[in-house]
Chain A
């Protein structure tokens, strides 16, 4: 979020499950959308890549149609309509309903305890693994940002659709804040000096004698910070963070689950949605070619 507008960015990798086992990584997925045409709003997504035969592209186009016939009163109004529309699709799609129901059913059972005798009210080893997988894999998030021409006030909202929670209320992103989703640990380490895993490891290590607040106070000293950036530098910042995450994945123990072309859009308060970087329709054809 910038006083000059909103910058949105995303990588392009889709991790597609290939039954019976394994994943296939496709590097030209669309995670960033203009909401309609000639719009002042953009939408970013992460997490669950789709609802089977219902694409996010189509669902967002339907939202844009709705906004055209019934003009919104605010960016919050847009986010609220998306919450209603997407929740209806998320909870009725044949692609997600069985998995959501399985996840919800498993959540009613107690956590697996290897020391306890088998119990129908306690998750088995396999059920525990399935539950942990589903409650992460079914999460999908959206960020809707931009402005309405009537007031030109940059505004953005976060929506997290979670199989174990109800329809989300849009959460406003404070002015001047930057948020990163999907693989937050990398950016937390890079900019914040540590991620929640390291914090928890220290707190539960038995070697830490201070309080949680003492540790947080120390970690805050490591945070990299910058002043309010001109919008082009804000664009550079967003691009740098996505590229850093991609490279961290490349040189890590995991598969390249974040990668492909980096897409960036900017919605300045004096203009409509503009692509800063947007892959061409032949991007997948050209993959691997020398340009």
Chain B
């Protein structure tokens, strides 16, 4: 028995086994040739949604240090 709490590498190896939803997704794809909406949303995200980030505005002191 591998204690994954004591051995993080074992936990990583264990996590490489496909999750239940991945098995179900492949099964559905083999049957229908398409992905379920729930799987697309899980992997890709909602098409109405976005990833959004902002450039960091540096303090004037930092700008003055630029050459």
Chain B residues lying within 8 Å of A183, measured Cβ to Cβ, are 43-45
Q: Which of A162, A177, A182, A228 contacts B53 (CB 8 A)?
A: A177
How many residues on chain B are close to A (CB under 8 Å)?
31
CA distance A31 to B55 in the complex (A): 25
**Which A residues, 165 to 184, have Cβ-Cβ distances below 8 Å to chain B?**
174, 176-184
When each residue 138-166 of chain A gets 1 if its CB lies under 8 Å from chain B and 0 otherwise, what string results?
01010000000000000000101010000
> Which residues of chain B from 45 to 61 have any CB-CB distance to chain A below 8 Å in the complex?
45-58
- B36 contacts across to A, CB distance below 8 A: 129, 132-133
Main secondary structure of the interface of A (DSSP, over half): mixed
Contact B45 A184 (CB under 8 A): yes
Q: Most B CB atoms within 10 A — which of A129, A226, A253, A255? A: A253
Contact across chains for A225 and B56 when beta carbons are under 8 A apart: yes
Chain B residue at minimum C-beta to C-beta distance from A22: B33
Give the total number of A-B pairs whose CB atoms are below 8 A apart: 117
Q: What's the Cα separation between A176 and B35 when bound, in Å? A: 36
Say which size band chain A's interface belongs to.
35 or more
Interchain CB contact under 8 A, B43 and A178: no
Given A46-B47, A136-B46, answer yes or no on A177-B54 (Cβ-Cβ < 8 Å): yes
Using a CB-CB cutoff of 8 Å, which residues 10-60 of chain B contact chain A?
18, 22, 25-26, 32-58
Tell whether, in the assembled complex, residue B43 and residue A254 are in contact, meaning their CB atoms are under 8 Å apart.
yes
In the assembly, what is the distance between CA of A155 and CA of B5, in Å? 51
A289 within 8 A of B: no
Interface residues of A (CB under 8 A from B): 2, 17-18, 21-23, 46-47, 129, 132-133, 135-137, 139, 141, 158, 160, 162, 174, 176-188, 191-192, 195-197, 223, 225-229, 252-255, 257
Chain B positions near chain A (C-beta within 8 angstroms): 18, 22, 25-26, 32-58
